[in-house]
Amino acid sequence: MVNLSHLLLKKKEGIVVLLFGFLSYFSGYAQAVDHDIYIDYNELLGNVAKNLTAAQTKVPFGSSSRLKEQTLALSKGARAKIPLLPNPGKQIMKVEDIIKERKDGVLMIYKYYKATHREPAKVQLYATATALTEDGICLSNWHVFMGIIQTEEELPVNDSLTFVVTLKGDVYPIERILAYSKDADAAIFKINTGKDRLRSIPLGTTLQVGETVHTLTNPDQYAYYYSRGVVARNTADHKIGPMGNRMEITADYAKGSSGGPILDDRGNMAAMVSTTHSIYARDQPQVNLQMVIKTTIPVTSIRNLILPK
């Protein structure tokens, strides 16, 4: 066996430095790769409050109550004007490439609750959103914004701010809601990114039963959780019309995933997470669970909330 230390002693000092330089470089490279693969999500979520404070020095943050006032003034049936949506991808992608290319377009929706005499101030992750454009037009569920959209719903007195957080930890305020549909369980909104640009996810087309789907959502604090499945059923409620269309899938998601993207094999958004329905062996909750039906909003309904060009 070759004794490396013996060989190094025989080399000139410059070569020794060069060799150790290469070793240091590759060691640092390995660490960088590990950091990219193994993300400390607890650190990411734990830094939200600190990043929120920093973000408020860069762009204006309106209150949740102000957002509600703006939304209530929105005309019924309003549709969002989006000048430029990204073109859908045409090439089949590897799963790892889908995640790599689309993960930055998946956002977390947070609320900031100010302190009361009973509870301290807190930030709470409660839903997922999808970036539709680089300049901050995003998509989530109607039920995520129900307290803001519905006249009869009252916001908690300590509900101060509604904002989004990216995978990198960037924090942006939700400026206004552009369009929504209760029937489609969808809402399009605008965030203020300042000079920053988002990585948007293109809208695709309707999928057929049996086609593969990919989810990347934030189920109950498990940020950026990936799951794969297929389209199980396409259903409709003809009394409602196109906004009553639904796509049921087998890929997993859970509470906190609302508003997350359902992607096709080309990395396009084919649908959006909406609800789950648990089927038990007996008509008794939490006993003998048999199936969980995952119901999503197909892209055709989402497009109906956008003004045609």
Q: Confidence band (pLDDT; 50, 70, 90) for 308? A: confident
Q: Confidence band (pLDDT; 50, 70, 90) for 159? A: confident
Residue 269 in tokens: 């958004």
> According to the model, what pLDDT value does residue 155 have?
86
> According to the model, what pLDDT value does residue 23 have?
39
pLDDT of 16 above 60:
no
pLDDT of 84 above 80:
yes
Q: Confidence band (pLDDT; 50, 70, 90) for 280? A: low
Lowest mean pLDDT among 10-24, 87-101, 185-199, 204-218: 10-24
Residues 76-83 have a mean pLDDT of 92
Residues 112-122 have a mean pLDDT of 88
E-strand stretches of the chain: 106-113, 122-131, 137-140, 159-165, 171-181, 186-191, 212-217, 225-235, 246-249, 261-263, 269-280, 289-298
Residues 61-90 have a mean pLDDT of 93
State the pTM of this model: 0.85
> According to the model, what pLDDT value does residue 66 have?
93
pLDDT of 94 above 50:
yes
Residue 159 in tokens: 């509900």
Q: Confidence band (pLDDT; 50, 70, 90) for 295? A: very high
Tally of CB atoms within 10 A around 303: 14
**Matching residue, tokens 């309106």:** 62
Residues 9-20 have a mean pLDDT of 40
pLDDT of 71 above 60:
yes
Residues 271-291 have a mean pLDDT of 79
* 8-state DSSP, 85: P
Using CA atoms, how far apart are residues 70 and 293, in angstroms rounded to an integer? 35
Pick 44 or 289 by higher pLDDT. Answer: 44
Tally of CB atoms within 10 A around 273: 30
Q: Confidence band (pLDDT; 50, 70, 90) for 285? A: low
CATH assignment of 41-191, given 2.40.10.10, 3.30.420.140, 2.40.50.140, 3.40.50.360? Answer: 2.40.10.10
> According to the model, what pLDDT value does residue 76 have?
82
pLDDT of 6 above 50:
no
Residues 198-220 have a mean pLDDT of 96
Of 11-25, 105-119, 127-141, which has the strongest mean pLDDT? 127-141
**Matching residue, tokens 């049936």:** 77
pLDDT of 32 above 70:
no
What's the whole-number average pLDDT of the chain?
88
> According to the model, what pLDDT value does residue 180 have?
97
Question: Under CATH, domain 212-303 is a member of which superfamily?
Answer: Trypsin-like serine proteases (2.40.10.10)
> According to the model, what pLDDT value does residue 92 have?
97
> According to the model, what pLDDT value does residue 309 have?
74
CA 304 to chain centre: 21
What is the longest distance spanned by two Cα atoms in the chain? 86
> According to the model, what pLDDT value does residue 37 have?
82
- CATH 2.40.10.10 spans which residues of the chain? 41-191, 212-303
